[in-house]
């Protein structure tokens, strides 16, 4: 079968498509024929081995796991002898977390892992595209803060994978949502539910005196210190990107003020919590309470180009790689 192999950390050029043996499921596993996967900002960070302390889990000098990719949608082709909750032919969506392996035509996953039945009214591209962004945003909005109706929430990186999902989720919880993005993406951000939009190219947020109960910096471009004047008295700054400045603020500033900074590596939480969020996202996708914003779809043979495009930081929503082409 075709699969990506990465022998070292680096830019998109380390992504190499090759042929490897097709896996066989263990007694507790399902074999999934992958129809679509996603290229997320998180997957590019893992490809680069950044931030460097992440290599404690990924491999110090080179990737321990050679085939990247964490999100997928596909069809169960075979099941192990002990599998009772899936059948051959089931259409599924799944996440592999740090085990990776989704950049391949086939993958074996434990049947009790992060696998759910894909809704019939959702395409494989829509299914795989929503996983990373929505599960990350939902984890912050349930485990780190409790959004109440009428609260004011600011989403930085509003047109990205996490941002487009975060807007929809914050609106679902009853918040008044302001997005921060470039002017060319204002219409998109408004269309998916934002009440207001700041153009970061014009420093509209920095020049604003508006106060927010939650500031969610989905892309790691802001800092707690530069936004605290725009936070309400008990405001919270959320980020999925851990930088040294973030760590220092969490240790030496946030504990001593009402305005808090909270970081979470959402993919490293317990499987129980991740499965909870995964099911909620699947159900909201099925009921159209969540929609997947897809920028571009690349064939598997062009997965290098897909990574190069995500590296350009110009994507809107999600970049998908499809095997069916």
What is the DSSP secondary-structure string of 44-59?
HHHHHT-SGGGHHHH-
Is 62 part of a structural domain of the chain?
A: yes
Is the pLDDT assigned to residue 99 strictly greater than 90?
A: no
For 266, the token pair is 């959402």
At residue 325, the pLDDT reads: 60
Query: Do 137 and 114 have their domain in common?
Result: no
Per-residue pLDDT tens digits for 239-287:
998 888 888 888 888 888 999 999 998 988 999 999 999 999 999 999 9
In this predicted structure, what is the pLDDT of residue 42?
81
The answer to whether residues 261 and 297 belong to one domain is: no
* Domain co-membership, 103 together with 144: no
**Judgement on whether residues 75 and 147 belong to the same structural domain of the protein:** no
Checking DSSP bridges between strand 294-299 and strand 176-181, what pairing results, if any?
Answer: unpaired
Alpha carbon distances (Å) from 60 to 8, 241, 291: 10, 20, 38
Average pLDDT over residues 117-132: 98
- Whether residue 284 is contained in a domain is answered as no
Tell me, yes or no, whether 77 and 153 share the same domain.
no
pLDDT in tens, 282-320: 999 999 999 999 999 999 999 999 999 999 888 999 999
Distance CA 149, CA 294 (A): 29
CATH number, position 11:
3.90.180.10
Q: Which pTM was predicted? A: 0.94
276 located within any domain: no
Sequential DSSP letters for 142-188: III----TT-EEEEETTTSHHHHHHHHHHHHTT-EEEEEE-GGGHHH
174 and 60 belong to one structural domain:
no
Both 83 and 139 in a single domain?
A: no
* Section 201-205 average pLDDT: 95
Q: Are residues 50 and 173 in the same domain?
A: no
* Mean pLDDT for the stretch of residues 188-198: 98
Q: Could you read off the pLDDT of 3-44 as tens digits, one per residue?
A: 999 999 999 999 999 999 999 999 999 999 999 999 988 888
Task: Examine the domain organization and report whether 70 and 141 are in the same domain.
Answer: no
pLDDT higher than 80, residue 53: no
Domain membership of residue 63 (yes or no) is yes
The pLDDT of residue 54 is above 80: no
Range of the domain at 223: 132-267
Same domain, 196 and 149: yes
> Does one domain contain both 46 and 96?
yes
- Beta-carbon contacts of residue 37 (< 8 Å; ≥ 6 apart): 69, 71, 72, 73, 102, 103, 128, 320, 321, 323
* Residue 263's CATH number: 3.40.50.720
Residue 50 reports pLDDT greater than 80: yes
**Position 127 in a domain:** no
Say yes or no: 315 and 238 in one domain: no
- Whether 280 maps to a domain, the answer reads no
- How many domains does the chain fold into? 2
């Amino acid at each position: 079968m075709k699969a990506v192999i990465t022998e070292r950390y680096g830019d998109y050029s380390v992504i190499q498509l090759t042929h490897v043996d097709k896996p066989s499921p263990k007694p507790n596993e399902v074999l999934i024929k992958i129809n679509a996967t996603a290229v997320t900002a998180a997957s590019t960070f893992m490809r680069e081995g950044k931030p460097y302390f992440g290599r404690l889990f990924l491999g110090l000098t080179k990737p321990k796991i050679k085939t990247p990719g964490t999100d997928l949608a596909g069809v169960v082709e075979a099941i192990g002898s002990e599998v009772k909750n899936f059948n051959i032919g089931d259409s599924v969506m799944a996440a592999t977390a740090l085990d990776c392996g989704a950049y391949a035509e086939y993958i074996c996953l434990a049947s009790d892992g992060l696998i759910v039945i894909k809704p019939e009214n959702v395409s494989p591209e829509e299914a795989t595209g929503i996983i990373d962004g929505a599960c990350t945003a939902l984890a912050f909005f349930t485990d780190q803060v409790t959004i109440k109706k009428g609260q004011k929430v600011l989403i930085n990186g509003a047109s990205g994978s996490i941002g487009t999902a975060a807007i929809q989720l914050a609106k679902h919880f009853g918040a008044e949502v302001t997005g921060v993005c470039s002017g060319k993406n204002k219409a998109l951000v408004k269309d998916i539910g934002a009440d207001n939009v700041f153009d970061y190219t014009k420093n509209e947020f920095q020049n604003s005196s508006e106060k927010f109960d939650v500031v969610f910096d989905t892309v790691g471009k802001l800092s707690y210190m530069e936004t605290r004047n725009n936070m309400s008295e008990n405001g919270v700054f959320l980020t999925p990107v851990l930088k040294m400045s973030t760590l220092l603020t969490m240790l030496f500033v946030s504990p001593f003020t009402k305005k808090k900074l909270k970081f979470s590596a959402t993919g490293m939480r317990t499987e129980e919590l991740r499965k909870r969020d995964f099911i909620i996202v699947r159900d909201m996708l099925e009921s159209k309470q969540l929609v997947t914003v897809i920028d571009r779809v690349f064939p598997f043979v062009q997965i290098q180009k897909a990574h190069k495009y995500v590296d350009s930081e110009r994507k809107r929503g999600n970049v998908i790689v499809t095997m069916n082409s």
